[in-house]
């Protein structure tokens, strides 16, 4: 705690102590007010300005320090200054006092709360930003809620002080008026309880509901305006139309069909989308062949004299396509039709919020629907680098059509896709040069993770060039060149083929998003609220087209929320749960993560402790010849509560599952340590990292006493050991 905070806390503590030690509260009771009323009134008639000032400061002090007595002071305001002036003075004094309490709570405790509850607080603050003023107004209107608690609690949120002030002043006015008015009739009041009759409390509650009702009305009017200009069909062909049959669209349609909704799934290209055809499946298949080859190269390490592999790259690619074909039935039209989904092979375009036009080989048809889910995916980003048109770049869409291994492959991009494919092609025998603009590969991960991957890449002969910015492509004497900038110098890099892996941009054009005015996020994805709703509450978006993560399992996760909200949102809507999102990059070593890492914890100001277990020490990893990598766990200081885990090593993507489950269900490291893990498996690493945590948090003093106890049990001489 800083000095200024200590000082303020001390000052507040002293003032509160003085108030209670000198029993000042006795002057803020109804009896005392009544007995002093005549004296106070005579003082006010002699010194009117002074009386107002003293009263004003007293009121601010009591409310600012959250001391009891504000109700009696309000009555006094009415009794001494009358209904009009009493209301004006109390209204300002109470709001200023409340704002002081709000600011003090914010100054003293906000940082501490932020550090402790970082991510969870963000979600609350999002809600406060959206609806905070309404909730505050409601709470203020109903004088049953203790005002001092509202002041302190709101101070811990991100609500703006200015907003707090004016909402409080407006919200408290009705209550102030009632109490000040009662104060003008002080003689008739025997107890504070009679001021608030059950009828009056009921009126206040109704008044409290008013802002919520007003919000509902505003929302309804805004929604009406949004849909103005479109004719809503009287009946609908579908409950749901899903655009795109990739991971997001397939799961949405599956869920809708499972609950017997009438759902149409429209796909313009290939069922299964990116993941099956150009993403996860082909890349993991290719990685498998490349890894197999890498193992052969290590034959002597495993006791073989010599093992060589002869291969034709075209056959490797044939295997990739064969695997796609084997998995394709999982995502096929036949399967989904059997599940009860109407599947249309065609291009969809939203023409009104309830109508989708589909262009098929048979012509154009228009379907009506209550709701629409956009799952149109993303495509490789091709930034406008001069000379791009000269070099026929490969992307993750086209690389699967290669039949010959590139001689010199330039990979632009050090993210997951660039890294996975760079290592694959290097293992097959391409000379791979990987360019990254930032200081390291996989920049979202911690520096030690990038280091582990980069070290392996270099060992495997990949020419990793970080801090290189691509400036232009050119062809010189028939040779393709990248002109890049490295620390102010111009670098020329020759290559035969280039893979552009610089990110993926959402598919937002050509199917009605612009025409309807569906809003985009700053990342140029379709903007959605926590319910997956777009600008139009009956049009939802999931997967790569909206983000923020671009993974198959994430698209599927959002799909559940979109489907359920679209079909049952009139009863209950569910907010998408982003609290535990895992992912893995399938390089060798694999990198898997769930929750935050060290760099994110530092950026977000979240306090953490870190424990690491080196997999180089794990029996099974040693036996497998894969003794490398680590499990790193971030925990809340002093607690076994897991904030995030990164695993680098063999099968990291599988190993992380235990931590995903633990985080999702609030299971801490103690429980992981107390769980039997099969020997010898890689999963023991998860238990061992929990052991590292336990040792670091062993109760040292208690253990010293336990040592003494054991010594005593061994006999008198042992105590002197």
Ligand X SMILES: Cc1cc2nc3c(=O)[nH]c(=O)nc-3n(C[C@H](O)[C@H](O)[C@H](O)COP(=O)(O)OP(=O)(O)OC[C@H]3O[C@@H](n4cnc5c(N)ncnc54)[C@H](O)[C@@H]3O)c2cc1C
CB of 345 to ligand X, least distance (A): 9
Respond yes or no on whether the N-terminal peptide bond of residue 680 is cis (omega within 30° of 0): yes
Q: How many CA atoms lie within 13 A of 328 on its CB side?
A: 14
The tokens for 490 are 């111009």
Cis peptide before 666 (omega within 30 of 0): no
Query: Does 324 sit near ligand X (CB under 6 A)?
Result: no
Q: Work out which of 94, 357, 550, 635 binds ligand X, going by CB under 6 A.
A: 550
SS (H, E, C) 667-691: CCHHHHHCCCCCCCCCCHHHHHHHH
* CB nearer to ligand X: pick between 532 and 552: 552
Provide, rounded to whole angstroms, the least separation between the CB of residue 498 and ligand X. Answer: 16
Which CB, 95 or 552, lies closer to ligand X?
Answer: 552
* Among positions 553, 573, 639, 641, the unique one binding ligand X when judged by CB under 6 A: 553
For residues 570 to 589, the per-residue mask of contacts with ligand X, x marking binding by CB under 6 A and - elsewhere, is: ----------------x---
Report how many residues bind ligand X under the rule CB under 6 A: 36
657 binding ligand X? (CB under 6 A): no
Q: Closest separation between CB of residue 122 and ligand X, Å?
A: 24
Stretch binding ligand X (CB under 6 A), from 232-240, 277-285, 516-524, 568-576: 277-285
- In the region spanning residues 583 to 622, those forming contacts with ligand X, defined by CB under 6 A, are 586
Minimum Å gap between C-beta 366 and ligand X is 14
Exactly one of 186, 280, 483, 667 binds ligand X (CB under 6 A); which one? 280
The DSSP bridge pattern shows strands 609-614 and 355-360 to be: unpaired
Distance of CA 396 to the CA centre of its chain: 27
Nearer to ligand X, 140 or 349 (CB): 349
What is the Cα–Cα distance from 561 to 542, expressed in whole angstroms? 9
Enter the tokens of residue 570. 């009139």
Backbone torsions φ then ψ of 261, nearest 5 degrees: -85, 155
CA 513 to CA 539: how far, in whole Å? Answer: 10
Q: Which residue, 206 or 661, has its beta carbon nearer to ligand X?
A: 661
Q: Smallest distance from the beta carbon of 358 to ligand X, in angstroms?
A: 8
Cα angle 74-80-84, degrees, rounded to a multiple of 5: 75
Residue with Cβ nearer ligand X (422 or 689):
422
CB 351 within 8 A of CB 513: no
State the DSSP H helix or E strand holding residue 657, giving kind and residue range, or none if neither: helix 657-664
Task: Return d(Cα 290, Cα 284) in angstroms, integer.
Answer: 10
Q: Does 246 engage in binding with ligand X (CB under 6 A)?
A: yes
Q: How far is the CB of 230 from ligand X (least distance, A)?
A: 19
Cα dihedral: 386, 388, 390, 394 (round 10): 160
Q: CB under 6 A: which stretch of 164-172, 262-270, 438-446, 640-648 binds ligand X?
A: 262-270
**Shortest distance, position 581 Cβ to ligand X, whole Å:** 11
| Paired tokens of 645 | 């885990």
Question: Would you say 502 or 596 has its CB closer to ligand X?
Answer: 502
Q: Minimum distance from CB of 544 to ligand X (Å)?
A: 4
Task: Write b or e for each residue in 195-215: b if 16 or more Cβ atoms lie within 10 A of its Cβ, otherwise e.
Answer: bbeeeeeeebeebbeebeeeb
Interface with ligand X, residue 540, by CB under 6 A:
no
Nearer to ligand X (CB atom), residue 147 or residue 554: 554
Instruction: Report in angstroms how near the CB of residue 417 gets to ligand X at its nearest.
Output: 5
Where residue 477 falls (left for φ over 0; alpha for ψ -120 to 50; beta otherwise) is left
Site for ligand X in 349-378 (CB under 6 A): 375-377
Residue from 148, 336, 473, 511 binding ligand X (CB under 6 A): 511
Among 168, 264, 396, 532, binds ligand X (CB under 6 A): 396
The only residue of 428, 551, 659, 688 in contact with ligand X, by rule CB under 6 A: 551
How far is 500 from 383, CA to CA, in rounded Å? 9
Q: Which residues bind ligand X (CB under 6 A)?
A: 243-249, 266-269, 273-275, 278-280, 283, 347-348, 375-377, 396, 417, 507, 511, 543-545, 550-553, 555, 586
């Amino acid at each position: 705690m800083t000095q200024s905070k200590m000082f303020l806390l001390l000052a507040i503590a002293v003032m509160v102590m003085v108030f209670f030690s000198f029993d000042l509260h006795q002057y803020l009771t109804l009896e005392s007010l009544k007995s002093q009323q005549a004296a106070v009134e005579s003082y006010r008639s002699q010194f009117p300005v002074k009386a107002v000032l003293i009263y004003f400061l007293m009121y601010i002090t009591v409310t600012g320090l959250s001391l009891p007595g504000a109700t009696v002071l309000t009555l006094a305001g009415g009794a001494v200054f009358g209904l009009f002036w009493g209301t004006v003075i109390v209204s300002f004094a109470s709001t200023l006092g409340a704002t002081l309490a709000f600011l003090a709570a914010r100054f003293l405790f906000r940082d501490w709360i932020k550090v402790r509850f970082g991510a969870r607080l963000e979600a609350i603050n999002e809600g406060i930003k959206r609806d905070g003023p309404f909730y505050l107004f409601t709470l203020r209107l109903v004088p049953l809620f203790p005002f001092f608690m509202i002041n302190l609690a709101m101070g811990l949120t991100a609500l703006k002080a200015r907003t707090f002030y004016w909402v409080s002043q407006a919200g408290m006015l009705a209550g102030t008026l009632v109490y000040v008015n009662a104060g003008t009739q002080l003689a008739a009041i025997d107890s504070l309880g009679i001021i608030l009759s059950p009828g009056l409390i009921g009126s206040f509650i109704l008044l409290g509901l008013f802002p919520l009702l007003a919000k509902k009305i505003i929302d309804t009017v805004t929604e009406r305006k949004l849909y103005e200009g479109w004719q809503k069909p009287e009946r609908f062909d579908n409950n749901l139309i899903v655009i795109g049959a990739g991971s997001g669209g397939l799961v949405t349609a599956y869920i809708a069909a499972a609950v017997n909704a009438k759902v149409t799934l429209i796909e313009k290209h290939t069922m299964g989308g990116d993941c099956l055809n150009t993403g996860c499946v082909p890349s993991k298949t290719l990685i498998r062949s490349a890894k197999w080859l890498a193992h052969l190269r290590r034959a002597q390490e495993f006791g073989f004299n010599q093992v060589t592999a002869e291969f034709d790259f075209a056959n490797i690619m044939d295997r990739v396509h064969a695997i796609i074909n084997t998995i394709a039935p999982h995502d096929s039209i036949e399967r989904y039709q059997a599940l009860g989904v109407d599947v249309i092979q065609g291009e969809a375009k939203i023409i009104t919020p309830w109508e989708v036009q589909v262009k098929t080989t048979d012509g154009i048809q228009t379907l009506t629907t209550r709701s629409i889910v956009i799952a149109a995916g993303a495509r490789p980003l091709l930034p406008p680098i001069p000379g791009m048109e000269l070099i026929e770049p490969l992307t993750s869409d086209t690389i699967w059509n290669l039949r010959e291994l590139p001689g010199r492959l330039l990979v632009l991009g050090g993210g997951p896709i660039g890294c996975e494919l760079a290592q694959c092609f290097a293992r097959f025998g391409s000379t791979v040069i990987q360019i990254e603009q930032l200081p390291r590969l996989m920049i979202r991960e911690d520096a030690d993770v990038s280091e582990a991957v980069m070290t392996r890449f270099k060992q495997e002969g990949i020419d990793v060039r970080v801090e290189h910015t691509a400036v232009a492509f050119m062809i010189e004497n028939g040779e393709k060149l990248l002109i890049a900038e490295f620390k102010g110098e111009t670098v020329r890099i020759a290559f035969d083929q280039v893979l552009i892996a610089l990110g993926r941009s959402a598919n937002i054009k050509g199917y009605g998003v612009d025409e309807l005015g569906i809003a985009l996020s700053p990342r140029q994805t379709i903007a959605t609220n926590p319910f997956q709703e777009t600008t139009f509450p009956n049009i939802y978006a999931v997967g790569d087209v909206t983000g923020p993560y671009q993974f198959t399992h994430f698209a599927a996760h959002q799909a559940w929320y979109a489907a359920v909200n679209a079909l049952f949102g009139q009863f209950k809507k569910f907010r998408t749960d982003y609290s535990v999102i895992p992912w893995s990059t399938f390089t060798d070593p694999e990198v898997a993560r769930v929750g935050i890492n060290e760099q994110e914890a530092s950026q977000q100001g979240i306090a953490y402790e870190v424990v690491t277990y080196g997999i180089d020490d794990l029996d099974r990893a040693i036996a497998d010849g894969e003794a490398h990598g680590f499990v790193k766990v971030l925990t809340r200081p002093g607690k076994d509560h897991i904030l995030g885990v990164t695993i680098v090593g063999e099968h990291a993507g599988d190993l992380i599952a235990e931590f995903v489950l633990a985080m999702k269900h609030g299971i801490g490291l103690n429980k992981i340590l107390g769980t039997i893990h099969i020997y010898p498996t890689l999963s023991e690493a998860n238990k061992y990292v929990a052991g590292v945590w336990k040792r670091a948090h062993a109760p040292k003093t208690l253990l010293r006493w336990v040592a003494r106890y054991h010594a005593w049990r061994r006999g008198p001489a042992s105590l002197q050991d």
